[in-house]
Amino acid sequence: MRIVAAMSGGVDSAVAAARMIDAGHDVVGVHLALSQSAATLRESARGCCTIEDAGDARRVADVLGIPFYVWDMAARFKQDVVDDFRAEYAAGRTPNPCLRCNEKIKFAALLDKALALGFDAVATGHYARVVETPRGDGGVRRELHRAVDAAKDQSYVLGVLDAEQLARSFFPLGDTTKPDIRREAAERGFYVANKPDSHDICFIADGDTRGWLTRELGSAPGDIVDTDGQVLGQHEGAFAYTVGQRRGLALGRPAADGQPRYVVEVRPETNQVVVGTADLLGVNAITGDHARWCGPAPEGVVQVGAQVRAHGEEYAATAWAEGDRVEVRLESRVRGVAPGQSVVLYDGTRVVGSATIAAARLEREPVA
């Protein structure tokens, strides 16, 4: 098969490209230029959008002896990921830009361009597995599963892929642990074998999300209130707060019962941040929209595992689809679930699909 190997300049994508070559595929390396003002040195950027990263990817391609190209997708990335991130926070939600990037850039814009140029599929260095299972018609169904390395598993941020995208995607690292990947990279002579992993949000160079939002959205002073509406303090922008947050509230006086207080709601329409005690954070019902299924949509009520954070715990739940919406009922309370986050559903290690959390609440009566 003719494969586009997405090469970020890191160790994972380097080994992924090498493994696709070893498997007998015709591989071309592609680095995505996502930043409209990429930093020159890695020390000034914590993500994967630096000029140095592009150079690292090119050096790996030279070692592998494969063609290498840089595809400029900065405008698309700004529109679909950066602008979406800003708009979601302005609306009082807490988005995950990595899911949006996978959905809109790596497995839409990149894959679409690769197919248009005559390639068959895209390979990335994500830690996840694609498992092929027989279908009744004699064909095979490709399923997305968790990686063997639980600490590095990235199936959560891939939960936005649909069946057609999975059919054109390869994740060669899913059966290997990260230490073994680094050893393999060193054995292959890759300069990036010990390169630190990228982290945080790639387009916020200094890792200061609140500062970035303030620069983008401007200062917007408002009240921090309790659940009764009593003013407890001030903030410089409700967009800088998320449900479950405890740090940075700077309240003028402690709670009467001495209990710590957390953000329990963000109200962009009144520019208020509502705080309360920890018991108000527990929810057991989630409504999600923008449902994405990694295969057929579930029929009726199904037993699933639900995960609401990229490296969070999986919770036993039931779920059912209602068109583009998903209803999830958790068997136990989960704290700090914020609108804008994603809920990803699992059947064992298999990813069933995902949805963007529109609302989360506590239902005290059992669901019939």
How many C-beta neighbours within 10 Å does residue 344 have? Answer: 29
Helix axis angle for 83-90 and 209-217, nearest 10°, is 90
d(Cα 173, Cα 130) in Å, to the nearest integer? 10
Q: Which two tokens stand for residue 37?
A: 């003002």
DSSP 182-243: HHHHHHTT-GGGGPPPP-S-TT-TTS-HHHHHHHHH----EEEEETT--EEEEES-GGG--T
Closest CA to 217 of 237, 235, 197: 237
* Spatial separation of the C-alpha atoms in residues 193 and 204, rounded to whole Å: 25
- Alpha-carbon distances of 91 from 25, 185, 291, 294, 357, rounded to whole Å: 45, 43, 20, 28, 13
Per the CB < 8 A criterion, the answer to whether 52 and 58 are in contact is: no
Tokens standing for residue 78: 């700004």
Residue 49 a catalytic site member: no
Catalytic site residue from 48, 98, 101, 294 = 101
Q: Is 294 a catalytic residue?
A: no
Residue in 171, 176, 156, 172 with CA at minimum distance from that of residue 294 = 156
The residues annotated as belonging to the active site are: 101, 202
